[in-house]
Amino acid sequence: MPFDVRRFDIYRKVPKDLTQPTYTGAFISILCCFFILFLFLSELTGFIATEIVNELYVDDPDKESGGKIEVSLNVSLPNLHCDLVGLDIQDEMGRHEVGHIDNSMKIPLNRGDGCRFEGEFTINKVPGNFHVSTHSATAQPQSPDMTHNIHKLVFGEKLQVKKVQGAFNALGGANRLSSNPLASHDYILKIVPTVYEDLTGKHRFSYQYTVANKEYVAYSHTGRIIPAIWFRYDLSPITVKYTERRQPFYRFVTTICAIVGGTFTVAGIIDSCIFTASEAWKKIQIGKMS
């Protein structure tokens, strides 16, 4: 007797003449197909889309930076001449730079009466400050006006990711044009290292920061008022990491199989219960008639 591989078929076929189609079964089958299609499209959308997972840990994520942080500053002083505007940088490592000019630009405003300062520079990863002032000017003005508008203050690379809503430019749009012209402004910044890892495993390093500010009138040892815009910063030991992830393909396939198999199984049970109940009801009615 020849070997017949068909004996291993666990999905035995029932001849059509032994089956009985019903309107209820047809309705449940159509409803079942639409339900499976809806769940399939939902899972497909979730599989294609990416999710952002965040975590916190204590470490310096960007060790290759050499202990430096890139800073980008853009601020307008509409009532202070460009010849008087300068940037000073100092920190706890002993750095004290007055009148920083590298990678900076001064754009006259209001027909030369004002100035827009744009600069890119680096700071050390230690507490310190940088400030916009008239300290580097050859001659100090009698009444310098430090009213200002901050357009941008960004540390590191600014992340342009829709799903990451961080404070990467927390001072962007800060308006102090209506403040006391002779007042100094202190912006106290807490800088938080931030890492973003995309699907390819590439890391991008940036920094978020929180801000607290105060306004006051400062006098020099000679009794003169010399206002400035101070940005005092300190680094947080906590690093925020955002990781971009996508659902694994095997999990997507497993979910689709569960949807199809589960839906057909439940639909078959419902159809069987309805058919059994209807047949029993018919027998009861025939019994009453006889």
Both tokens of 76, joined, read 């307008």
- What is the pLDDT of the chain when averaged over all its residues? 86
Q: Stretch 14-43: mean pLDDT, rounded? A: 83
Q: Stretch 229-251: mean pLDDT, rounded? A: 90
Instruction: Confirm whether pTM is higher than 0.85.
Output: no
49 Cβ contact list (under 8 Å, min separation 6): 246
| Beta-strand relationship, 184-197 and 229-235 | parallel
Three-class SS of the chain: CCCCHHHHCCCCCCCHHHCCCCHHHHHHHHHHHHHHHHHHHHHHHHHHCCEEEEEEEECCCCHHHCCEEEEEEEEEECCCCHHHCEEEEEECCCCEECCCCCCEEEEEECCCCEEEEEEEEEEECCCEEEEEECCCCCCCCCCCCCCCEEEEEEEECCCCCCCCCCCCCCCCCEECCCCCCCCEEEEEEEEEEEEEECCCCCEEEEEEEEEEEEEECCECCCCCECCCEEEEEEECCEEEEEEEECCCHHHHHHHHHHHHHHHHHHHHHHHHHHHHHHHHHHHHHHHHHC
Does the pLDDT value for residue 285 go beyond 90?
no
pLDDT band at 290 (very low <50, low <70, confident <90, very high): low
The one-letter amino acid code at 163 reads K
- pLDDT computed for residue 172 by the predictor: 92
Of the candidates 134, 127, 85, the one whose C-alpha atom is nearest the C-alpha of residue 232 is 127
Q: Stretch 125-136: mean pLDDT, rounded? A: 92
The one-letter amino acid code at 243 reads T
Angstrom distance (rounded) from CA 102 to CA 83: 16
Angstrom distance (rounded) from CA 271 to CA 50: 38
Q: If you search the block for the tokens 């939902």, which residue do you land on?
A: 42
Higher pLDDT, residue 285 or 198: 198
72 Cβ contact list (under 8 Å, min separation 6): 119, 120, 152, 153, 154, 158
- Interior CA angle at 161 toward 160 and 165, to 5°? 100
Does the pLDDT value for residue 171 go beyond 70?
yes
Higher pLDDT, residue 47 or 191: 191
- pLDDT computed for residue 8 by the predictor: 72
- pLDDT computed for residue 220 by the predictor: 75
pLDDT band at 158 (very low <50, low <70, confident <90, very high): confident
- pLDDT computed for residue 18 by the predictor: 66
As a whole-number percent, the residues of the chain with pLDDT over 70 amount to 96
In terms of average pLDDT, the best of 11-15, 51-55, 120-124 is 120-124
pLDDT band at 154 (very low <50, low <70, confident <90, very high): very high
* Bridge partner list, 179: none
133 Cβ contact list (under 8 Å, min separation 6): 86, 88, 226, 227, 228, 229
